[in-house]
Amino acid sequence: MANSKKVALVTGSNRGIGFETARQLGQQGVTVIISARTEHEAAEAARKLREEGIEAVSITLDVTKAADHTAAANFIESHYGKLDILVNNAGVGPADGPIGLRASASSQEELQSLFNINVFSLVELTHELLPLLKKSEAGRIVNLASILGSLTLQAMDPSPIAPFRKFAYNASKAVVNVFTIHLAAELKDTNIKVNSVHPGWVKTALGSDAAPMSVPDGAKTTVAVALLGSDSPNGRFIHEINKELPW
Protein backbone atom coordinates (compact mmCIF):
# COMPACT_ATOMS: atom_id res chain seq x y z
CA MET A 1 0.00 0.00 0.00
CA ALA A 2 1.47 3.36 -1.02
CA ASN A 3 1.83 6.00 1.67
CA SER A 4 2.18 9.72 0.99
CA LYS A 5 3.47 10.38 4.51
CA LYS A 6 7.15 10.12 5.31
CA VAL A 7 8.08 6.71 6.70
CA ALA A 8 11.04 6.24 9.04
CA LEU A 9 12.75 3.16 10.43
CA VAL A 10 14.75 3.76 13.60
CA THR A 11 16.86 0.81 14.70
CA GLY A 12 17.08 0.06 18.40
CA SER A 13 14.13 2.34 19.06
CA ASN A 14 12.46 0.67 22.00
CA ARG A 15 14.34 2.84 24.51
CA GLY A 16 16.83 5.66 25.00
CA ILE A 17 17.83 7.98 22.17
CA GLY A 18 16.27 5.67 19.58
CA PHE A 19 12.85 5.80 21.22
CA GLU A 20 13.04 9.56 21.65
CA THR A 21 14.14 9.97 18.03
CA ALA A 22 11.09 8.01 16.90
CA ARG A 23 8.87 10.10 19.16
CA GLN A 24 10.17 13.40 17.82
CA LEU A 25 9.88 12.22 14.21
CA GLY A 26 6.34 11.08 14.91
CA GLN A 27 5.52 14.48 16.37
CA GLN A 28 6.55 15.93 12.99
CA GLY A 29 3.96 13.77 11.23
CA VAL A 30 6.30 10.95 10.19
CA THR A 31 5.09 7.35 10.34
CA VAL A 32 7.66 5.61 12.54
CA ILE A 33 8.62 1.95 12.49
CA ILE A 34 9.81 0.92 15.93
CA SER A 35 12.31 -1.91 15.98
CA ALA A 36 13.86 -4.01 18.72
CA ARG A 37 15.41 -7.43 19.16
CA THR A 38 12.21 -8.88 20.58
CA GLU A 39 8.62 -8.54 19.39
CA HIS A 40 7.42 -7.59 22.87
CA GLU A 41 9.91 -4.73 23.30
CA ALA A 42 9.09 -3.26 19.90
CA ALA A 43 5.33 -3.61 20.31
CA GLU A 44 5.33 -2.03 23.76
CA ALA A 45 7.35 0.98 22.59
CA ALA A 46 5.07 1.48 19.57
CA ARG A 47 2.01 1.25 21.82
CA LYS A 48 3.35 4.06 24.01
CA LEU A 49 3.82 6.30 20.98
CA ARG A 50 0.35 5.54 19.62
CA GLU A 51 -1.07 6.62 22.97
CA GLU A 52 0.57 9.99 22.30
CA GLY A 53 -1.18 10.24 18.94
CA ILE A 54 1.83 9.17 16.89
CA GLU A 55 1.46 6.79 13.94
CA ALA A 56 3.78 3.98 15.00
CA VAL A 57 4.13 0.32 14.08
CA SER A 58 6.56 -2.28 15.34
CA ILE A 59 8.82 -4.94 13.87
CA THR A 60 11.29 -7.39 15.31
CA LEU A 61 14.76 -6.45 14.11
CA ASP A 62 17.97 -7.84 15.51
CA VAL A 63 20.46 -5.90 13.42
CA THR A 64 22.96 -8.76 13.58
CA LYS A 65 20.59 -11.16 11.77
CA ALA A 66 20.44 -11.10 7.97
CA ALA A 67 17.01 -12.76 8.02
CA ASP A 68 15.66 -9.86 10.08
CA HIS A 69 17.08 -7.39 7.55
CA THR A 70 15.21 -9.12 4.76
CA ALA A 71 12.01 -9.36 6.80
CA ALA A 72 12.19 -5.63 7.60
CA ALA A 73 12.63 -4.76 3.92
CA ASN A 74 9.71 -7.00 2.95
CA PHE A 75 7.50 -5.44 5.62
CA ILE A 76 8.28 -1.90 4.50
CA GLU A 77 7.84 -2.78 0.83
CA SER A 78 4.46 -4.42 1.37
CA HIS A 79 3.04 -1.78 3.72
CA TYR A 80 4.50 1.48 2.38
CA GLY A 81 6.29 0.82 -0.91
CA LYS A 82 9.24 3.03 0.07
CA LEU A 83 11.36 4.23 2.96
CA ASP A 84 12.06 7.91 3.47
CA ILE A 85 14.29 7.85 6.54
CA LEU A 86 16.68 5.26 7.92
CA VAL A 87 18.17 6.06 11.32
CA ASN A 88 20.97 3.63 12.12
CA ASN A 89 20.73 4.11 15.87
CA ALA A 90 21.33 0.58 17.20
CA GLY A 91 24.78 0.07 18.64
CA VAL A 92 26.76 -0.93 21.69
CA GLY A 93 29.47 0.66 23.77
CA PRO A 94 32.55 -0.77 25.44
CA ALA A 95 31.72 -3.40 28.03
CA ASP A 96 33.67 -1.64 30.75
CA GLY A 97 32.29 1.82 30.16
CA PRO A 98 33.41 4.87 28.16
CA ILE A 99 36.79 5.17 29.93
CA GLY A 100 38.57 1.94 29.13
CA LEU A 101 41.69 0.09 28.11
CA ARG A 102 44.67 1.30 26.13
CA ALA A 103 44.93 0.28 22.47
CA SER A 104 47.61 -2.28 23.33
CA ALA A 105 45.20 -4.04 25.68
CA SER A 106 42.18 -4.29 23.37
CA SER A 107 41.24 -7.88 22.61
CA GLN A 108 40.25 -9.43 19.30
CA GLU A 109 37.02 -10.59 20.94
CA GLU A 110 36.11 -7.02 21.87
CA LEU A 111 36.94 -5.72 18.40
CA GLN A 112 34.85 -8.41 16.71
CA SER A 113 31.89 -7.85 19.03
CA LEU A 114 31.80 -4.08 18.62
CA PHE A 115 32.44 -4.09 14.89
CA ASN A 116 29.80 -6.77 14.29
CA ILE A 117 27.06 -4.57 15.75
CA ASN A 118 28.32 -1.03 15.22
CA VAL A 119 29.74 -1.48 11.71
CA PHE A 120 28.97 -4.71 9.85
CA SER A 121 25.30 -4.87 10.81
CA LEU A 122 24.78 -1.17 10.07
CA VAL A 123 26.34 -1.51 6.62
CA GLU A 124 24.43 -4.66 5.72
CA LEU A 125 21.06 -3.30 6.84
CA THR A 126 21.65 -0.12 4.87
CA HIS A 127 22.46 -2.19 1.78
CA GLU A 128 19.23 -4.15 2.24
CA LEU A 129 17.09 -1.02 2.55
CA LEU A 130 18.77 1.14 -0.07
CA PRO A 131 16.38 0.13 -2.90
CA LEU A 132 13.44 1.33 -0.77
CA LEU A 133 15.22 4.60 0.06
CA LYS A 134 15.77 5.18 -3.65
CA LYS A 135 11.98 5.13 -4.09
CA SER A 136 11.62 8.11 -1.75
CA GLU A 137 11.43 11.65 -3.05
CA ALA A 138 13.90 12.68 -0.36
CA GLY A 139 15.69 9.70 1.17
CA ARG A 140 17.71 10.33 4.31
CA ILE A 141 20.22 8.01 6.00
CA VAL A 142 21.39 9.09 9.44
CA ASN A 143 24.23 7.14 11.01
CA LEU A 144 24.70 7.49 14.76
CA ALA A 145 28.40 8.03 15.22
CA SER A 146 30.25 9.68 18.10
CA ILE A 147 32.69 12.52 18.60
CA LEU A 148 35.01 9.76 19.84
CA GLY A 149 35.28 8.59 16.22
CA SER A 150 36.85 11.88 15.11
CA LEU A 151 40.45 11.17 14.07
CA THR A 152 41.19 14.90 14.00
CA LEU A 153 40.15 15.41 17.61
CA GLN A 154 41.79 12.16 18.76
CA ALA A 155 45.10 13.19 17.17
CA MET A 156 45.27 16.64 18.77
CA ASP A 157 47.95 17.21 21.40
CA PRO A 158 46.49 17.63 23.87
CA SER A 159 43.29 15.97 22.69
CA PRO A 160 40.02 17.30 24.16
CA ILE A 161 38.66 13.74 24.20
CA ALA A 162 41.80 11.94 25.39
CA PRO A 163 40.19 10.80 28.68
CA PHE A 164 37.66 8.82 26.63
CA ARG A 165 40.09 6.89 24.44
CA LYS A 166 38.73 3.40 24.03
CA PHE A 167 40.26 1.86 20.93
CA ALA A 168 37.68 -0.72 19.84
CA TYR A 169 34.64 1.51 20.35
CA ASN A 170 36.23 4.66 18.94
CA ALA A 171 37.51 2.73 15.92
CA SER A 172 34.04 1.34 15.22
CA LYS A 173 32.59 4.84 15.15
CA ALA A 174 35.42 6.09 12.93
CA VAL A 175 34.53 3.35 10.42
CA VAL A 176 30.87 4.42 10.55
CA ASN A 177 32.07 7.89 9.56
CA VAL A 178 34.09 6.49 6.64
CA PHE A 179 31.00 4.58 5.48
CA THR A 180 29.03 7.83 5.62
CA ILE A 181 31.62 9.64 3.48
CA HIS A 182 31.81 6.89 0.87
CA LEU A 183 28.06 6.24 0.61
CA ALA A 184 27.28 9.96 0.43
CA ALA A 185 29.76 10.35 -2.43
CA GLU A 186 28.30 7.35 -4.23
CA LEU A 187 24.76 8.74 -3.91
CA LYS A 188 25.54 12.43 -4.44
CA ASP A 189 23.59 12.59 -7.70
CA THR A 190 20.50 10.92 -6.23
CA ASN A 191 17.71 12.11 -3.95
CA ILE A 192 19.39 10.50 -0.91
CA LYS A 193 21.49 12.32 1.67
CA VAL A 194 23.78 10.44 4.05
CA ASN A 195 25.17 12.03 7.21
CA SER A 196 26.74 11.03 10.51
CA VAL A 197 25.59 12.62 13.74
CA HIS A 198 27.05 12.96 17.20
CA PRO A 199 24.09 13.22 19.58
CA GLY A 200 26.21 14.53 22.44
CA TRP A 201 26.99 13.12 25.85
CA VAL A 202 23.53 11.97 26.89
CA LYS A 203 22.08 10.47 30.07
CA THR A 204 21.63 6.91 28.79
CA ALA A 205 22.85 3.50 29.91
CA LEU A 206 26.05 4.17 27.94
CA GLY A 207 26.38 7.86 28.76
CA SER A 208 25.62 7.41 32.50
CA ASP A 209 24.01 9.90 34.86
CA ALA A 210 27.17 12.02 34.69
CA ALA A 211 26.24 13.13 31.17
CA PRO A 212 25.06 16.75 30.87
CA MET A 213 22.39 16.24 28.18
CA SER A 214 18.88 14.86 28.51
CA VAL A 215 17.63 12.15 26.16
CA PRO A 216 15.21 14.56 24.38
CA ASP A 217 18.07 16.97 23.71
CA GLY A 218 20.24 14.08 22.54
CA ALA A 219 17.68 13.13 19.88
CA LYS A 220 17.31 16.61 18.41
CA THR A 221 20.32 16.49 16.08
CA THR A 222 19.30 13.14 14.60
CA VAL A 223 15.74 14.32 13.98
CA ALA A 224 16.89 17.56 12.36
CA VAL A 225 19.30 15.72 10.05
CA ALA A 226 16.62 13.15 9.18
CA LEU A 227 14.38 15.98 7.99
CA LEU A 228 16.98 18.01 6.07
CA GLY A 229 15.82 19.82 2.95
CA SER A 230 17.19 19.30 -0.55
CA ASP A 231 19.75 22.13 -0.25
CA SER A 232 21.23 20.83 3.01
CA PRO A 233 24.55 19.14 3.80
CA ASN A 234 25.42 15.68 2.52
CA GLY A 235 28.30 13.51 3.70
CA ARG A 236 28.91 15.53 6.84
CA PHE A 237 29.53 14.86 10.55
CA ILE A 238 26.99 16.94 12.45
CA HIS A 239 26.51 17.84 16.09
CA GLU A 240 23.66 20.21 16.77
CA ILE A 241 22.17 21.20 13.49
CA ASN A 242 24.44 24.18 12.79
CA LYS A 243 27.73 22.63 13.94
CA GLU A 244 29.90 20.28 11.91
CA LEU A 245 32.56 18.15 13.55
CA PRO A 246 35.94 17.33 11.95
CA TRP A 247 36.47 13.83 10.65
pLDDT interval class at 207 (50, 70, 90)? low
| DSSP-derived 3-state class of residue 194 | strand
Of 19, 80, 167, 169, the active-site residue reads 169
pLDDT at 205 over 60: no
In the chain, what are the domain boundaries? 7-92+127-147+177-238
pLDDT of residue 183: 98
Fold annotation for 7-92+127-147+177-238: Rossmann fold (3.40.50)
pLDDT at 242 over 80: no
Give pTM, 2 decimals. Answer: 0.93
pLDDT at 98 over 50: no
In DSSP notation, 54-105 reads --EEEEE--TT-HHHHHHHHHHHHHHTS--SEEEE------TT-SS---GGG
Higher-confidence position of 14 and 209: 14
**145-181 residue pLDDT tens:** 999 999 999 999 999 888 888 899 999 999 999 999 9
Q: Parallel, antiparallel, or unpaired: how do β-strands 56-60 and 85-88 relate?
A: unpaired
Give catalytic status of residue 80 as yes or no: no
Q: What percent of the chain has pLDDT over 90?
A: 77
Q: State how far the Cα of 145 lies from the Cα of 215, in Å rounded to an integer.
A: 16
